[in-house]
Structure 1
Amino acid sequence: MSLISVNHLTFYYEGSPDYIFEDVSFQVDTDWRLGFIGRNGRGKTTFLKLLMGEYEYRGSIASEESFDYFPFEVKNMEGTVLETVEELYPDYEFWKLCRELTLLHVDADVLYRAFSTLSNGERTKVMLAVLFSRDNQFLLIDEPTNHLDQEGRESVREYLKGKKGFILVSHDRDFLDQCVDHVLVINKTDIEVYKGNFSVWWEQKQRKDAWEQAENERLKRDIKRLESSARVKEQWADDLEARKIGKKAAAEAKRKGITLTGRRPLIGEKSRKMQRRRKNLEHRQERALEEKEGLLKNLETAEDLKLYPLRHHREVLARLSGVQVYYTLPDQSLPAADVCPAARLEGALEPKENRKVLPAVGFEIRNGECVVLRGRNGCGKSSILKAVLQAAQEKNAAGTAEAGEKTDRAQDEQKLCWEGTIETAGGLRISYVPQDTGHLKGSLADYAEGYGLELPLFLALLRKLDFGREQFEKNMEDYSGGQKKKVLIARSLCEQAHLYIWDEPLNFIDVFSRMQIEELLLKYRPAMLLVEHDKAFTDRIGTKIIEMGEKT
């Protein structure tokens, strides 16, 4: 057992007027399974990079352990996994690596595959196996659940439950609850360490916030009462002084700050007592103000978001019957039978007659329903979302789902096709949030103009999602992953639509904003078609769960 000691840590990015960390001190044990929590942009990844020695800082970080960072960079994606491991970690031990792969239920044959052929889940598991196979390393695990399906999350969760000695950055509440025994929180003004998992910390925080808010209200009332009493006592003292020496002399003495004593001792004594009482009241008022100032510094306020859903005159907005999705190549010189496998394209192209067909999908989306698609990565969830979007576009040539066309047609070289039927209501307006944020470039103002958004409303929603005003001046390519996702969600919230189609909207988004979005959707109950792997989120807002079939 050893400690990581952080003392008087101060860091800011060159050219930025704001500190990321200012005079921060704390200690953590290297045997802990430590969850790392904080809003987007607070500096979680920056702190991990500081531990790795990538930035210069003031203060000190002391530890006997060495640090390893997940995910590590793979420069040659076409090389095999084993070649990558040998290049990055020449001192690795093969048997230990195989042991960790087995614990993650990954076949050792994966070591001889090109890194580029691995799915997101396989890459996550391989990287974790590599890092945990090394001795005397304290792991810095940065958001391992992004893009992992529910099965992948459960596998990684069970694996991490059997480990110790790591910092885990994650915004998935269920995942954190199962994996960590301590929590490190970046607050507004400091960093705190708590014993317990996410739920234990959250309960303690809610109790502390509630007490501070109640105490703040009590002190406000006390301060108001003390101010009133002080004014009364001051008036009494002035009246007594005036009776002793005359009103004109008293007024002049008060103006000049002179205390007059002498004549009429009895009245003078009363006046002095009143003055002392007034001073005591002022001191009590000052103490109350100091106490009040120490409260609510770390209160995470989340203003209510607003949504502008439309209600379609038809109750059923979309109906899918026996739908199987696949992609055709755009090159017209190729035979029409040349197609890609259904759902996400992860393998080689296959002729249609040989392609693997997914089980047919069928469901309805009604007004006020939130339909959640669940299933393994590659089972066609995102493709079903795009198929519904495309069907609505084709039925309504006016382009009621422009967001989807801008984000998907530009990046998918294949044409999306399906067998079966997708019926959509006429004139259906759809707001679409894609998984990918790579298209976000340039200023927020240009982005808002491109989508016909009211800029003040768009910026107001971003402010409520914890964007600082300084972020408005930056280009979107400089945003964190969570901030980019918030741009997409804020844009969708600005759009009046009958149906909201969101594809993994919460990747990278902090816990506080996730709960804020939950409350919004529970309040307005828009019609939604959703893919999201945060089980706590979907369990609360989902009204219909569709389990997508396996590949066959």
Structure 2
Amino acid sequence: MTNIEIKNLTFSYQEKLIFENAQINLDKNWHLGLVGRNGRGKTTLLNLLRGELTSDTMPQINEKFIYFPQEIVDPSRYTNELLTDLISSEQWELERELTLLELDLEVLWRPFSQLSGGEQTKCLLACLFLNSDAFPLIDEPTNHLDRRSRQTVANYLKNKKGYILVSHDRAFLDAVIDHVLAIERRQITLYQGNYSIYEQQKKLKDESELAQNVRLKKDITRLKASARDKSDWSKSREGDIHGNPKLKNSGGIGHDGTITARAARLMKKSKSIERRMNQEVEAKEELLKNIEHLKPLSINFVPDYHRQILAVENFSLAFDDHVLFKPLNFILEEGERLVLDAKNGAGKSSLMKAIEGVFEGQQSGQMTMASQTSISYVRQMFKHTGSLENFAKANALNFEEFLSNLIKLGMERNVFSQRIEDMSQGQQKKVELAKSLTQKAQLYLWDEPLNYLDVFNHEQIIELIQNVKPTMLIIEHDQSFIDQIEARLIGLDQV
């Protein structure tokens, strides 16, 4: 079987319609990128394919699928033992794949729980292609990968057979896919080419629809005026006739009843125009069904009168006398963006914690912060529970402003009643980001803010930072994002 074919797929989840009569036909040799806004159904489609979700309209697919990230029941086990249970290949083949992913084989002899997020990702990716009878479904592989590791994984995937990949990293998608399946607002559309080609084609399509919409609005205005004028005229003539019966027999008209007949014809024509106008309105609504409407984000940045917000001099951190990075020197000025640049596990998040004052290891050197600087922190790893209202109270947030930020980030109102722990990873990340946007702050510490967010959210965040220029220290590996926010890189050198 060389194709995966689905016809007339309809699926609803928690009373929300996800797919309606969707038609999907995919070649298994494609490197397919599955894209779309958070909540549109990307992971749902993957779960339908692998049988984790069911639908009466989902056909039986005679295909074995393997999903990334695989569930790890006991991460305390040694990595080699754990990975061997996930594959059907020989040990040397596993070591070959790990070497291609530029991973030191010593990780095999460490507990899986002690590996960094990037090391765990590479181990699990290696297992995908060591099950030759299974088709890979890869969901968000770039989370927790540094820039070099993303390039390594991209080179690795380019040389593999077909797969379906979900990612929000534009550069990564461009490097590894040759087709795009886009889950849009009302339909699923297949495009040939990488993500940049899809964006170009989608932009041209949207621009064409918007131009048609402008013309259509003008037509509707004209049709309304025409229908109104003809209706008013026919009604007035009918009123004249009923008020003055002599008009029925007026010799100047031609024959009895001519005015009445003409008025009736015009009334009928006005009704026809009105029907046509309503059809045009329906066509307009259908026309713009796949255009995404993004509202600009806002942030409660409070500019500081200090020119220098943070100064770090010969500063380093250690755990149990194990130094994380060489002595560091930098100055963060008001209105500037700095990005910490280092491999996974080099101590970037630990430095963030030290700035916030919650690092539990040893510190050396000097760190000086402007007096009374308020900090807002977006954490890479977080665990929130309870209702949104209680979360807002616990973090001293203006509840209405907090909800407004969630809406702008694309969270649907029906999610507001859910407990945070029951939300998807993307929705929980929006809660964490909306918290930071709502807090008044002079310094923003954002640790991998783009993880789990779609490319539309990326655009919103970039536009916000470009316009407001808040003072920020960021950990992020998306080079396009770093370039667009005009950030300065600060390297952390390992000892």
TM range (shorter): over 0.9
In structure 1, what is the Cα distance between the partners aligned to 2:223 and 2:161?
54
2:375 alignment counterpart: 430
SS at match of 2:17: coil
Gaps of 5+ in 2: 247-252
Q: For residues 84 and 54 of structure 1, what CA distance do their matches in structure 2 show?
A: 23
Residue 486 of structure 1 pairs with residue 430 of structure 2: yes
Is contact 2:77-2:111 (8 Å) kept?
yes
Per the alignment, residue 349 of structure 2 pairs with: 382
Moved more, 305-314 or 93-102: 93-102
* 3-state DSSP of counterpart to 1:20: strand
Aligned length: 490
Rounded to whole Å, the distance in 2 between the matches of 1:342 and 1:24 is 55
Mapped to 2, the partners of 1:63 and 1:109 lie a distance apart of: 39
Match of 1:233 among 204, 217, 230: 230
| Contact 1:51/1:61 (<8 A) preserved | no
- TM-score, reference length from structure 1: 0.83
1:31 alignment partner, one of 2, 21, 29? 29
Aligned to 1:130: 127
Q: Which of 498, 505, 515 is the matching residue for 2:459?
A: 515
Contact 2:321 2:362 in 1 (8 A): no
Deviations 1:199-226 (A, max 9, x none): 1111222222222222222212211110
For the pair 1:77 / 2:75, whether they are aligned, the reply is yes
Q: Distance in 1 between matches of 2:303 and 2:334?
A: 7
Q: Secondary structure at the match of 1:423?
A: strand
Q: 1:420 Cα shift?
A: 1.4
Take 2:282 and 2:322, find their aligned partners in 1: how far apart are those partners?
66
> Mean Cα displacement is larger for which, 457-466 or 43-52?
43-52
CA distance in 2, matches of 1:376, 1:188: 37
What is the distance in 2 between the residues matched to 1:185 and 1:230? 41
Residue 365 of structure 1 is aligned with which of 322, 332, 335?
A: 332
TM-score, normalising length: structure 2: 0.93
Partner residue in 2 for 1:399:
none
Q: What secondary structure does 1:385 align onto?
A: helix
**Residues 86 and 127, structure 2, Cα contact 8 Å, conserved in 1:** no
> Equivalent residue for 1:56?
54
Aligned partner of 1:68 in structure 2 is 66
Aligned positions of 1:305-324 closer than 5 A: 305-324=297-316
Matches of 2:266 and 2:314, distance apart in 1: 88
1:520-531 alignment, distance < 5 Å: 520-531=464-475
Q: Can you give the 5+ residue segments of structure 1 that lack an aligned partner in the other structure? A: 251-260, 328-338, 344-357, 391-408
Q: How far does residue 315 in structure 1 lie from its aligned partner after superposition?
A: 0.6
Question: 2:322 corresponds to which residue?
Answer: 341
1:288-336, Cα deviation, whole Å (9 max, x unpaired): 1232121211221111111121111111111111111124xxxxxxxxx
Distance 1:25 1:318 in 2: 55
Deviation of 1:230 (Å) = 1.0
* CA shift for structure 1 position 416: 3.8
CA contact (8 A) 1:372 1:531 kept: yes
1:42 positional shift:
2.3
In structure 2, what residue type is equivalent to 1:176? Answer: L
Say whether the 8 Å CA contact 1:40–1:480 is kept in structure 2. no
* More deviation, 465-474/205-214: 205-214
TM-superposition CA deviations, 1:346-379 (whole Å, max 9, x none): xxxxxxxxxxxx2221111111111111110122
Task: State the identity %.
Answer: 42
Are the structure 2 counterparts of residues 249 and 324 from structure 1 closer, same or farther at C-alpha, using a change threshold of 3 Å?
farther
The answer to whether the 8 Å contact 1:387/1:416 transfers is no
1:26-425 matches, within 5 Å, as 26-89=24-87, 91-242=88-239, 245-247=241-243, 264=256, 266-268=258-260, 270-271=262-263, 273-275=265-267, 277-327=269-319, 339-343=320-324, 358-390=325-357, 409=358, 415-425=360-370
Alignment of 1:470-481 (within 5 A): 470-481=414-425
- Secondary structure, counterpart of 1:322 in structure 2: strand
What RMSD over aligned residues (CA atoms) do the two structures have, in Å? Answer: 2.4
1:432-511 paired onto structure 2 within 5 Å:
432-438=377-383, 440-511=384-455
Contact 1:2 1:64 survives alignment (8 Å)? no
2:328 partner amino acid: V
SS in 2 for 1:467: coil
Moved more, 270-279 or 140-149: 270-279
CA distance in structure 1 between the partners assigned to 2:186 and 2:385 by the alignment? 31
Give the direction of change, closer, same or farther, for the CA distance of 1:221–1:359 in structure 2 (3 Å limit): same
Residue in structure 1 matched with residue 10 of structure 2 by the alignment: 10
Q: Read off the aligned partner of 2:243 and give its amino acid letter.
A: K
CA distance 1:471–1:386, shift in 2 (3 Å): same
- Report the alpha carbon displacement of residue 276 of structure 1 after superposing the two structures with TM: 5.1
- Give the direction of change, closer, same or farther, for the CA distance of 1:43–1:249 in structure 2 (3 Å limit): farther
1:455-513 per-residue CA deviation (whole Å, 9 max, x = no partner) reads 11111111111111111111110111111111111111111111111111121111111
Return the letter of the residue paired with 1:120.
Answer: G
Secondary structure of the equivalent of 1:59?
A: coil
- Any conservation in 2 of the 1:4–1:27 contact (CA below 8 Å)? yes
Letter in 2 for 1:432: Y
Quick check: 2:180–2:192 contact (8 Å CA) kept in 1?
Answer: yes
> 1:143, 1:168 within 8 Å by CA — same for their partners in 2?
yes
Compute the displacement of 1:164 (Å): 2.9
